[in-house]
């Protein structure tokens, strides 16, 4: 939303908004706009980005950036998020951090990613707060582990209602997803994917969602939107609000699923009903 491998959670995460196979899985994105769904972009209109309109409607603009990211048009996504970041839109700064943490369309630069995460946190991005917590809690090749700083940010995220941050603070060291994050911090992407696949196949819906983000972003596995859709569908059916949201975006954009505005709307409402904050915010923009 990564998915951080952030999020979109990030990626992307592009994401309850904290899906982390690195940062790619973490993304705040908007499925609907005004009276209807925002149309998917195509190669033909990839360069036709109206930055004035993007900054005028930042939530919708952020979604456009995520749509570009989903289609691996990282330079276009970066242009959009840089314009929004210049207007102090916190989620854009978080998303830029994702790009620099994972080297997507830019040279990988962990200190710069961390600076964007701090800026995002200062400008109200809960995902940026969580990501700072994870980076400091585990450390990276470029950032020394600082458990006190990590706990500080994770506690801030938990106090703001981030259930995964609270669970992370209380998790046993043997918890599967903690093991995934630890492997990632040590640069062991293959081990992280192995842990995720095993847990996902055993029915762990959070692992299923994170594996979906891995396939969507192509982090640790070949990029495969069809496989991403499979795992998002499994997790969504099991009740994971973030996966429901990711599935809604797929139906809205036609990336990974046949474009279906009715299905996008249905999954968006289901996601909001679980309390997933981005879905709730998206519905407010109608």
Helices (H) and strands (E) in the chain, counts: 15, 2
Coil/strand/helix, residue 189: helix
> Confidence class of residue 216 from pLDDT cuts 50, 70 and 90?
confident
- Contact call for residues 153 and 130 (beta carbons, < 8 A): yes
Q: Which of 81, 28, 35 has its CA nearest to residue 54?
A: 81
Q: Which of 130, 69, 50, 68 has its CA nearest to residue 94?
A: 130
pLDDT, tens only, 9-42 = 333 333 333 333 334 334 333 322 222 333 333 3
- Residue 196: the pLDDT is 94
Q: Does position 171 have pLDDT exceeding 90, yes or no?
A: no
> Confidence class of residue 226 from pLDDT cuts 50, 70 and 90?
very high
pLDDT, tens only, 105-132 = 999 998 899 999 999 999 999 889 999 9
Rounded CA-CA distance 103/129 in Å is 20
pTM of the model: 0.69
Every domain of the chain and the residues it spans: 32-124+203-284
10 Å CB burial of residue 249 (0-12, 13-18, 19+) is: buried
Contacts (Cβ under 8 Å, ≥6 apart) of 52:
none
Q: Does position 1 have pLDDT exceeding 60, yes or no?
A: no
Rounded CA-CA distance 143/37 in Å is 40
């Amino acid at each position: 939303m990564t998915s951080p491998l952030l999020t979109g959670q990030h990626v992307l995460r592009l994401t309850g908004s904290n899906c982390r196979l690195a940062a790619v899985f973490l993304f705040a994105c908007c499925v609907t706009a005004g009276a209807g769904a925002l149309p998917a972009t195509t190669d033909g209109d990839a360069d036709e980005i109206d930055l004035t309109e993007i900054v005028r409607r930042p939530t919708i603009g952020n979604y456009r950036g995520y749509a570009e990211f989903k289609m691996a048009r990282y330079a276009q996504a970066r242009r959009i998020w840089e314009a929004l970041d210049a207007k102090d839109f916190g989620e854009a700064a978080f998303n830029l951090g994702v790009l620099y943490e994972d080297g997507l369309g830019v040279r990988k630069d962990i200190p710069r990613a961390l600076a964007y995460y701090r800026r995002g946190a200062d400008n109200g991005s809960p995902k940026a707060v969580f990501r700072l917590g994870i980076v400091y809690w585990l450390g990276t090749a470029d950032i020394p582990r600082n458990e006190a700083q990590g706990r500080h940010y994770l506690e801030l995220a938990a106090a703001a209602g981030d259930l995964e941050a609270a669970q992370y603070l209380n998790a046993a060291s043997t918890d599967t997803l903690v093991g995934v994050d630890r492997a990632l911090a040590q640069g062991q992407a293959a081990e992280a994917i192995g842990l995720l696949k095993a847990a996902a196949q055993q029915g762990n819906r959070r692992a299923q969602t994170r594996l979906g983000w891995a396939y969507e972003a192509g982090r640790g596995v070949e990029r495969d939107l069809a496989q991403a859709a499979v795992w998002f569908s499994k997790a969504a059916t099991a009740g994971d609000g973030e996966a429901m949201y990711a599935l809604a975006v797929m139906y809205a954009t036609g990336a990974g699923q046949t474009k279906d505005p009715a299905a996008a709307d249905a999954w968006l409402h289901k996601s909001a009903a679980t309390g997933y904050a981005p879905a709730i915010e998206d519905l407010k923009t109608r």
